Amino acid sequence: MEISTSILNASNRREVILKLNESLTDYIHFDVMDGEFVENTQFQVEELVELLKVSNKKNDVHLMVKKPLKYIEAIKDLNVEYITIHVEINENISEILDFIKDNNIKCGLAIDLDTDINLIKPYLDKIDLALIMSVKAGYGGQEFEPKVLAKLNEIPNNVKKELDGGIDNKAISLIKSADIVVSGVYILKNIDKNILELKNANN
């Protein structure tokens, strides 16, 4: 199981990225919010670009935005491993996924906590990663919802399964079939110690 560390709740994101560059995290996770798809707003395009340039880890960009193309355009030539958009947006999802792929970036599709997993299934042949929210999208620091674990079983093994939200040293023990887990608040309390704890939890 790989670890993707969210910097959403970091007070000094640049400083935290520099620490994560030296850590055992597998990815740095960027939660981008536009104030429309979710109420919160995080990462203007310019800030996202600058922070991605600081990272030397694989970067995992989660776009909680209604119109993702302007963000994708801005970061497509940077060091980005995954760009994930939400299935709930009112945009042409297939075209956006194709655009991500055409720029040699792995594409992901996310579903919010209460979204029916079946909405993701028409796109399974297009995506590299399915991101399943285990909290309500848009806010850090929420409690993990175990009810979402059943959704992991609906995703075929040729698609990476990422679980995002409320993951700490207690929640991790419940998670058996995710390939990547996203953790922010918990890891940032003690970066090296808590990344190691999550990595070792199910060994």
Residue 2 pLDDT > 90: yes
Is pLDDT above 70 for 44? yes
> Residue 98 has what pLDDT?
97
Res. 169: pLDDT tops 70: yes
pLDDT at 160: 97
- Residue 141 has what pLDDT? 67
The kind and range of the H/E element at 111 are strand 106-111
Predicted confidence band of residue 38 (pLDDT cuts 50, 70, 90): confident
Chain segment 99-128, per-residue pLDDT in tens: 999 999 999 999 999 999 999 999 999 999
User: How far is residue 23 CA from its own chain's centroid?
Assistant: 18
- The model's confidence at residue 137, banded by pLDDT at 50, 70 and 90, is confident
CA distance 114 to 148: 9
% of the chain at pLDDT higher than 90: 82
Phi, psi of 73 (to 5 degrees): -55, -40
Per-residue pLDDT for 142 more than 80?
no
> Pick the residue with more confidence: 43 or 146?
146
pLDDT over 70 (residue 60): yes
pTM of the predicted protein model:
0.94
**Alpha-carbon gap, residue 129 to 173, rounded angstroms:** 22
pLDDT at 203: 61
Query: Which of the two residues, 44 and 183, has the higher pLDDT score?
Result: 183
Residue 202 has pLDDT above 80, yes or no: no
Please give the average per-residue pLDDT across 153-167, as a whole number. 95
Average pLDDT, rounded, for the chain: 93
How buried is residue 165: exposed, middle or buried, by Cβ count under 10 Å (0-12/13-18/19+)? buried
Residue 105 is predicted with a pLDDT of 98
Distances in Å between the Cα of 60 and the Cα atoms of 32, 33, 114, 173, 179 are 11, 14, 23, 23, 14
Q: Which of 26-30, 77-81, 138-142 has the lowest mean pLDDT?
A: 138-142
- For the record, the structure tokens of 31 come out as 């939660």
